[in-house]
Amino acid sequence: MKRHNAAVVSAGIAHVLAWVVVIGLVFGPVYQGESVTAAAPGAAANESTKTTATLIEVNGWRVLPILLVPAALTGLALITILKTNSGHTRRRVLVWVPAVLLLGFCILGSFSIGIFYLPSALALVLSSILVARSRVRATRAG
């Protein structure tokens, strides 16, 4: 039962971390820029203007589904752990598949947004390991 609780906590942490990244990328200033205007003849210095933009402002709303994929994967794993019995193979599969898919997402997107989801992916892998170990323990006890 302790491993079940730890798996739930780990999957819950993975889910929360995924949502933190989604919210940060949607509302946070991801892009920064600076423009310099040449000074008029006889002026002391050039004028510099700094700007920031969110991921949505630069790429549009079409990136939102991509940002939500990791949150959906961690949510699936969390619901699976909460709603299925610990001895079922289906439970183990439905926790490992999202973990592997999320790791793949992190690798494929490692040069852009994928790296932000790595803590969530690692927490989900830990949850998957705990679920797999609880199944082995349940099998041995039976």
pLDDT tens for each residue of 13-50: 999 999 999 999 999 998 888 888 777 776 667 788 88
CA–CA distance, 6 with 131 (Å, rounded to integer): 9
Q: For the whole prediction, is pTM greater than 0.95? A: no
**Hey, what amino acid is at 19?**
W
CA–CA distance, 48 with 34 (Å, rounded to integer): 7
**CA quadruple 81, 8, 19, 76: dihedral, nearest 10:** 0
CA–CA distance, 129 with 5 (Å, rounded to integer): 13
The CA–CA distances, whole Å, from 116 to 57, 74, 87 equal 19, 14, 33
Mean pLDDT, range 119-128, rounded to an integer: 96
The encoded tokens of residue 7 equal 């798996």
**Band of the pLDDT at 2, cuts 50, 70, 90?**
low
pLDDT value at residue 35:
82
- pLDDT at 140 > cutoff 70: no
- Which of 138 and 78 is assigned the larger pLDDT? 78
pLDDT value at residue 136:
54
Among residues of the chain, what percentage have pLDDT more than 90? 62
3-state secondary structure of 23: helix
User: How many structural domains are present in the chain?
Assistant: 1
pLDDT value at residue 89:
84
Which residues form the domain of 55?
A: 2-141
